[in-house]
């Protein structure tokens, strides 16, 4: 029945003279996600509206699923597009639409007309009244409710055509990808960091990632788990360059030289140094982590402050105020949860002290790091030079 979709956006509508930049970014991302979908699509912009029109046979469900991964879209409306051939032709099209959608259904409805074409001979209230009366006569199971109708039938009288639709399928919202720069995500095999990547991308930020691999303490299955998680996130964020860092020598050196209760904080600080190196190389404007205040010892306010002190770039933490159930809900939404809970350990969970410091003092941590000066630079250099980059699409 449907060969077209009306795309509704939210925040983009208040961008004033720069709105076209955001619209163009939205259209570009829509073309990207629709490219592998069965069918041929044409995307057009017209007076604050974006349309996706399918030419010939296409996969309806797959098209909807693809568009639901496009940040910036708040609603996907399967729409009937018709040329303006007068009110009687419009009435016929509306009756045909209602028969196809709501034949034999006992529900309430309301007709809502938007008259963008001011030359249309009837006013919006007149169209509402006339079409509403004809629908009542044609469909005895339907009744009118102007306050909380089950069916909101939208009629848009545009300059060149008429839109008829009643269904609004939710989109993810947010801002179109590429409108707010690029970031570097510290990606682990856990639940939190993939969600953090999704959340920052929802604000229009491209995402690259670093993963710290520690063979033989972490297995190839652990690495593959992270690659799979990056793939889950990339369905929303677009392609991700995943940097796999061999962190074993650095981690063992820290383990041998530093107090064990400080191991997690010091290890985290060296991860941030490495992540910042690749962030600069890739033109990123900040680091992104999946930390949430108080979730573990390394995520207390004091620990986060000491971790931040090593960074020159901003560190963004989209989940900072989330509790675990809220994070899990988003993880399930993006189909990452079942992969995240697979029992393959990453380097953050292998080397955990029995009693990690929860209120580290920066001067104390820096004093402990001075014990690493003799050998850490060579190990850092080796880690950077042996990094594997995987293109995730």
Distance CA 209, CA 275 (A): 8
pLDDT tens column, 301-319:
999 999 999 999 999 999 9
- Express as a percent the part of the chain with pLDDT over 90: 86
For residue 63, how many other CB atoms are within 10 A of its CB?
22
Burial tier of 141 (Cβ tally within 10 Å: 0-12, 13-18, 19+)? exposed
Q: Which residues, 6+ apart, have CB-to-CB distance to 350 below 8 Å?
A: 214, 217, 218
Place of tokens 């989109």: 171
Q: What is the pTM of this model?
A: 0.92
Own/partner long-range contacts of 128-136 (Cβ < 8 Å, ≥24 apart): 130/87, 130/91, 131/90, 131/91, 131/94, 131/155, 134/91, 134/94, 134/95, 135/94, 135/95, 135/98, 135/109, 135/111
**Residue 371 reports pLDDT greater than 90:** yes
Give me the pLDDT at residue 14, please: 78
**Structure confidence at residue 296 as a pLDDT band (50, 70, 90):** confident
**Residue 386 reports pLDDT greater than 60:** yes
Give me the pLDDT at residue 10, please: 87
Which whole number is the average pLDDT over 253-261? 93
Which whole number is the average pLDDT over 184-211? 97
Give me the pLDDT at residue 349, please: 58
Give me the pLDDT at residue 159, please: 83
HSE-up of 20 (CA within 13 Å, CB side)? 3
**Residue 48 reports pLDDT greater than 80:** no
Average pLDDT, the chain: 94
**Structure confidence at residue 298 as a pLDDT band (50, 70, 90):** confident
Distance CA 172, CA 29 (A): 13
pLDDT tens column, 204-237:
999 999 999 999 888 899 999 999 999 999 999 9
Beta strands 108-115; 151-157: pairing state:
parallel
Give me the pLDDT at residue 351, please: 62
Distance CA 171, CA 169 (A): 7
Which whole number is the average pLDDT over 252-262? 93
Distance CA 210, CA 231 (A): 14
Give me the pLDDT at residue 355, please: 80
pLDDT tens column, 328-354:
999 999 999 999 999 877 655 556 667
Distance CA 93, CA 101 (A): 12
**Structure confidence at residue 277 as a pLDDT band (50, 70, 90):** very high
**Structure confidence at residue 188 as a pLDDT band (50, 70, 90):** very high
| DSSP letter string, 154-206 | EEEE-SS-EEEE---EE---SB-TTSS-EEEEE--SSSHHHHHHHHHHTBT-E
Q: When comparing pLDDT for 226 and 356, which is higher?
A: 226
Instruction: Determine contact, residues 339/225, Cβ cutoff 8 Å.
Output: yes
pLDDT tens column, 126-139:
999 999 999 999 99
Q: Which residues, 6+ apart, have CB-to-CB distance to 18 below 8 Å?
A: none
- Express as a percent the part of the chain with pLDDT over 70: 98
Lowest mean pLDDT among 76-80, 242-246, 292-296: 292-296
Start-to-end CA distance of the chain, whole Å, equals: 32
Instruction: Determine contact, residues 246/215, Cβ cutoff 8 Å.
Output: yes
Distance CA 121, CA 90 (A): 13
Which whole number is the average pLDDT over 6-17? 86
φ, ψ at 344 (rounded to 5°): -115, 115
């Amino acid at each position: 029945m449907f060969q077209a979709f009306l795309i509704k956006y939210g925040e983009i509508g208040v961008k004033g003279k720069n709105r076209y930049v955001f619209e163009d970014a939205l259209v570009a991302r829509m073309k990207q996600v629709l490219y592998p979908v069965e069918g041929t699509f044409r995307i057009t912009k017209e007076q604050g509206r974006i349309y996706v029109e399918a030419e010939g046979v296409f996969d309806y469900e797959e098209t909807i699923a693809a568009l639901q991964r496009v940040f910036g879209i708040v609603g996907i409306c399967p729409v009937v597009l018709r040329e303006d051939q007068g009110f009687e032709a419009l009435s016929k099209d509306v009756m045909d639409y209602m028969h196809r959608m709501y034949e034999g259904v006992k529900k309430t409805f309301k007709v809502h007309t938007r008259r963008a074409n001011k030359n249309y001979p009837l006013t919006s209230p007149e169209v509402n009244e006339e079409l509403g009366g004809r629908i009542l006569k044609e469909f005895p199971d339907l009744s009118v409710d102007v306050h909380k109708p089950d069916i909101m039938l939208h009629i848009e009288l545009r300059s060149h055509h008429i839109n008829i639709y009643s269904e609004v399928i939710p989109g993810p919202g947010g801002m179109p990808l590429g409108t707010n720069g690029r970031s570097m995500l510290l990606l682990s095999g856990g639940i939190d960091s993939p969600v953090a990547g999704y959340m920052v991308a929802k604000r229009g930020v491209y995402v690259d990632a670093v993963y710290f691999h520690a063979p033989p303490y972490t297995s190839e299955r652990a690495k593959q788990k992270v690659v799979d998680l990056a793939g889950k996130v990339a369905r929303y964020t677009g392609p991700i360059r995943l940097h796999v860092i061999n962190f074993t020598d650095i981690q063992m050196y820290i383990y041998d030289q530093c107090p064990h209760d400080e191991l997690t904080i010091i290890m985290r600080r060296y991860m941030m140094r490495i992540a910042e190196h690749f962030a600069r190389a890739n033109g990123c404007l900040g680091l992104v982590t999946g930390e949430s205040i108080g979730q573990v010892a390394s995520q207390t306010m004091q620990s986060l402050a000491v971790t931040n002190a090593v960074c020159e770039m901003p560190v963004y933490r989209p989940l900072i105020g989330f509790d675990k159930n809220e994070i899990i809900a988003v993880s399930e939404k993006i189909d990452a949860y079942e992969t995240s809970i697979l029992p393959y350990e990453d380097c953050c969970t292998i080397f955990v002290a029995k009693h990690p410091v929860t209120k580290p003092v920066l001067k104390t941590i820096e004093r402990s790091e001075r014990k690493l000066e003799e050998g850490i630079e060579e190990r850092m250099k080796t880690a950077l030079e042996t990094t594997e980059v995987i293109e995730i699409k």
